[in-house]
Amino acid sequence: MLTAVISDIHSNLQALEAVLAAIDAEGVDEIWCLGDLVGYGADPGPCVEILRERTKICLAGNHDLAAIGSIPTDVFTQGAAAAAAWTTEALEPEQRSWLASLKPEGERAGAGLYHGSPRDPVWEYVLSSLAAEMCLDDAGRPFVLVGHSHVALAFSRRPGQPATGETQRAGTVLDLRGAEWIINPGSVGQPRDGDPRAAWLLLDLTDGKCEFRREEYDIQAAQSAIRTAGLPESLADRLRLGV
């Protein structure tokens, strides 16, 4: 089964459309979304509608939960809190209701899916080998996908060895056989690994491999939409930098 894994769209319609065009060109069987459909960007409603229609499984991220009032925003940065409040008003009631039906963790085709991590599906960032080690112990399954950090990463643990991992660049292909894995596809709508292109993962569990992908998109249009909506300027600026 050929699967596209996406995460952290953050209401960036231009990035989402570019990634979906690339996904459609590959003829994938399913699309899995690891959460944070909304937040930061200016098109939450269209992104929710598209993902509601296109994904086989979709998780809730912390920004989705904030937008529907399920978690407080006092731990968010000022810009993120402002975007969450704006997003709440921008979403239609039916869209908020659908977001409320989503969970921050799930399972598909034997893979454990989490927005944050197996230990804390909402909040934990898996950014180190130590965190990956503990999460693999907690997950109790050999293959885990996470989002939340906005960084394309892969951690593996082979029998009798500690977990190791690093950031992943566009075009990298990994052989998933013979090890346990925690993989982050990176962010569609707001990458933070220095590469501003939209990130996603092409996953083939049948052949035991995956490939990290990046797509060019109209960053200027996404920035313009943020500014027109009256959202904080910093949310527009960082798109160009990929931070």
Q: Could you give the CA distance from residue 83 to residue 230 in angstroms, rounded to a whole number?
A: 10
Instruction: Dump pLDDT digits (tens) for 155-200.
Output: 999 999 999 999 999 999 999 999 999 999 999 999 999 999 999 9
Instruction: Dump pLDDT digits (tens) for 82-113.
Output: 999 999 999 999 999 999 999 999 999 999 99
Task: State residue 240's pLDDT score.
Answer: 94
30 pLDDT exceeds 90?
yes
- Among residues 172, 177, 169, the alpha carbon closest in space to that of 242 is found at 169
Q: Using pLDDT thresholds of 50, 70 and 90, give the confidence band for residue 75.
A: confident
Q: Using pLDDT thresholds of 50, 70 and 90, give the confidence band for residue 16.
A: very high
More confident call, 210 vs 1: 210
Q: What is the edge-to-edge ordering of all strands in the sheet holding 152-157?
A: 105-108, 111-114, 143-146, 180-185, 152-157, 164-167
Q: What is the CATH number of the domain that holds 88?
A: 3.60.21.10
Task: State residue 243's pLDDT score.
Answer: 87
* Average pLDDT for 28-48: 98
Asked if 217 contacts 196 with a C-beta cutoff of 8 angstroms, the reply is: no
Q: Find the domain containing 35 and state its range.
A: 2-241
Task: State residue 211's pLDDT score.
Answer: 98
- Total number of domains constituting the chain: 1
* Average pLDDT for 21-33: 97
What percentage of the chain carries pLDDT values higher than 90?
97
- Among residues 11, 72, 94, 101, the alpha carbon closest in space to that of 47 is found at 11
203 pLDDT exceeds 90?
yes
Q: Could you give the CA distance from residue 118 to residue 106 in angstroms, rounded to a whole number?
A: 10
